[in-house]
């Protein structure tokens, strides 16, 4: 599946901004199931920029604008190919055996097994974990699937109940939130169980290949990946209570949201308000590879 993406973020300032310093994480990641075919970042006002890969392998574009400017527009255009690659075979492993290597695993995956800014190991988090802790005989992968479904059933998806800087404790308090909150809570439970888990930011494409989907403030999506025996890093979307599929477009990974915001920056001005608006457009494109009429499935097998 090919997906053309245009992600535009616009800032309008009541008083002109200046000395603005920003970093952007909007380039889709490369991986077994995903290839970034094209990427372009357009800035208004235009300025020089520099790029680097952060600690977790995300592509970052940094730029500064020193002169006064009444608005800042950042437009990321991407062409992404999502591929249904063969999945490795799962290894059935009960928690009783899995946790024998817990100490070594913690050394290798420390960042994804311990508390972080948005995923604290607080009293409420630990109490929630004990409601659904794994049995020693329960399979590790089966437990991850169970927790994703359990959390989706316990909480409601409701924009406005939490804020972008809310921790996982917030969804436990108010009983609902958005995709970011569902991901943080699921990550916290899995980490307390001993399963390395990381936060993924990205986009969720439309289900129908013939449609163009335009989204506003809730443009970005979030889910998680858990490191499972035999399967490696495996994606789960707790907001929708499912595993990830070809519609999930990975942009950045980290411990939690604080490592992967699409855009982060600071600026100076003489006061007044800042108005931000976001628009995301995702357009599925037809696969250019011809289909063999004698073997219609050949196109899928070539991916």
**CATH number for domain 2-83+261-302, candidates 3.30.70.20, 3.40.50.720, 2.60.40.10, 2.60.40.2250:** 2.60.40.2250
CB 161 within 8 A of CB 142: no
The answer to whether 2-83+261-302 and 95-205+216-259 have equal CATH topology is: no
Joined tokens for residue 232: 């490696």
Record the tokens describing residue 192, joined without a space.
């307390």
Put simply, whether the predicted model's pTM sits higher than 0.75 gets the answer yes
Q: How far apart are CA 147 and CA 145, in angstroms?
A: 6
Query: Which strand (E) or helix (H) includes residue 265?
Result: strand 263-268
| Class of 95-205+216-259 in CATH | alpha beta
**What sign for the dihedral angle of Cα 16, 18, 20, 26?**
positive
Domain locations in the chain as residue ranges: 2-83+261-302, 95-205+216-259
For 239-286, what is each residue's pLDDT tens digit?
A: 999 999 989 999 999 999 999 999 999 999 998 899 999 999 999 988
- Beta-carbon contacts of residue 181 (< 8 Å; ≥ 6 apart): 155, 162, 166, 168, 170, 171
Name the one residue in this structure whose structure tokens are 């519609």: 247
Terminal C-alpha separation, the chain: 9
pLDDT, tens digit, 9 for 90 and up, residues 17-33? 999 999 999 999 999 89
């Amino acid at each position: 599946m090919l997906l053309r993406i245009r992600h535009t973020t616009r800032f309008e300032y009541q008083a002109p901004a200046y000395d603005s310093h920003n970093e952007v994480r909007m380039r889709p990641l490369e991986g077994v199931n995903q290839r970034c075919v094209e990427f372009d970042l357009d800035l208004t006002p235009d300025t020089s920029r520099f790029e680097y890969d952060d600690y977790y392998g995300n592509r970052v574009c940094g730029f500064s604008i020193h002169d006064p400017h009444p608005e800042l527009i950042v437009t990321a255009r991407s062409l992404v190919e999502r591929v249904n690659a063969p999945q490795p075979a799962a290894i059935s492993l009960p928690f009783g055996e899995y946790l024998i290597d817990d100490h070594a695993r913690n050394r290798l995956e420390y960042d994804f097994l311990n508390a972080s800014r948005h995923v604290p190991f607080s009293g409420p988090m630990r109490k929630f974990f004990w409601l659904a802790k794994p049995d020693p005989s329960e399979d590790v992968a089966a437990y991850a699937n169970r927790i994703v479904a359990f959390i989706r059933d316990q909480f409601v998806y409701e924009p406005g109940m939490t804020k972008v800087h809310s921790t996982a404790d917030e969804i436990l308090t108010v009983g609902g939130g958005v995709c970011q909150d569902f991901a943080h809570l699921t990550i916290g439970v899995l980490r307390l169980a001993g399963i390395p888990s990381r936060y993924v930011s990205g986009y969720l494409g439309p289900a129908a290949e013939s449609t163009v989907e335009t989204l506003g403030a809730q443009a970005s999506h979030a889910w998680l990946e858990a490191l499972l025996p035999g399967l490696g890093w495996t994606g789960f979307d707790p907001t929708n209570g499912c595993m990830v599929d070809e519609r999930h477009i990975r942009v950045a990974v980290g411990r939690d949201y604080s490592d992967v915001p699409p855009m982060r920056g600071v600026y100076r001005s003489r006061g007044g308000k800042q108005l931000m608006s976001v628009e995301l457009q995702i357009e599925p494109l037809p696969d250019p590879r011809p289909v063999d009429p004698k073997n219609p499935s050949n196109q899928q097998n070539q991916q």
